[in-house]
Amino acid sequence: MKPLQALIFDVDGTLADTERDGHRIAFNAAFAEAGLNWHWDVALYGELLAVTGGKERMFHYARLHAPALLARPEFDNLVRKLHTLKTQHYVHLVQAGKLPLRPGVARLIYEARAAGIRLAIATTTSPENVAALLRASLSPESESWFEVIGAGDIVPAKKPAPDIYDWVLARLGLPVEACLAFEDSENGLKASRAAGIPTLVTENDYTRGHDFTGALAVLSDLAKTTFADVQQIFNKSLSSR
Ligand code: XBP
Ligand code: MG
Decide if 153 is inside a domain.
yes
Provide the CA 102 distance to its chain's centre, in angstroms. 13
Q: Are residues 105 and 208 in the same domain?
A: yes
What is the structure's pLDDT at 60? 98
Domain-ending residue, one of 64, 95, 126: 95
Q: Are residues 157 and 192 in the same domain?
A: yes
Residues 6+ apart with CB under 8 A from 186: 160, 207, 210, 211, 212
Q: How many domains does the chain have?
A: 2
Q: Are residues 90 and 117 in the same domain?
A: no
Q: Are residues 185 and 145 in the same domain?
A: yes
DSSP conformational letter for 181: E
Q: Are residues 181 and 217 in the same domain?
A: yes
**What's the CATH code of the domain at 60?**
1.10.150.240
Distance separating alpha carbons of residues 185 and 202, to the nearest angstrom: 8
Active site residue 163: no
CA of 228 to the centre of ligand 2 (A): 23
Which range of residues forms the domain containing residue 65?
A: 19-95
What is the structure's pLDDT at 1? 66
Decide if 1 is inside a domain.
no
Active site residue 184: no
Is any atom of ligand 1 closer than 6 Å to the C-beta of 186? no
Given ligand 1 and candidates 124, 154, 202, 210, which is best to mutate, with the most ligand atoms within 8 Å of its CB? 124
Domain-ending residue, one of 95, 118, 138: 95
Decide if 40 is inside a domain.
yes
**In 3-state terms, what secondary structure has residue 85?**
helix
Over residues 198-234, the pLDDT tens digits come to 999 999 999 999 999 999 999 999 999 999 999 999 9
Q: Are residues 155 and 193 in the same domain?
A: yes
Over 70: is that where the pLDDT of 133 sits? yes
Over residues 142-170, the pLDDT tens digits come to 999 999 999 999 999 999 999 999 999 99
Provide the CA 43 distance to its chain's centre, in angstroms. 19
Q: Are residues 123 and 90 in the same domain?
A: no
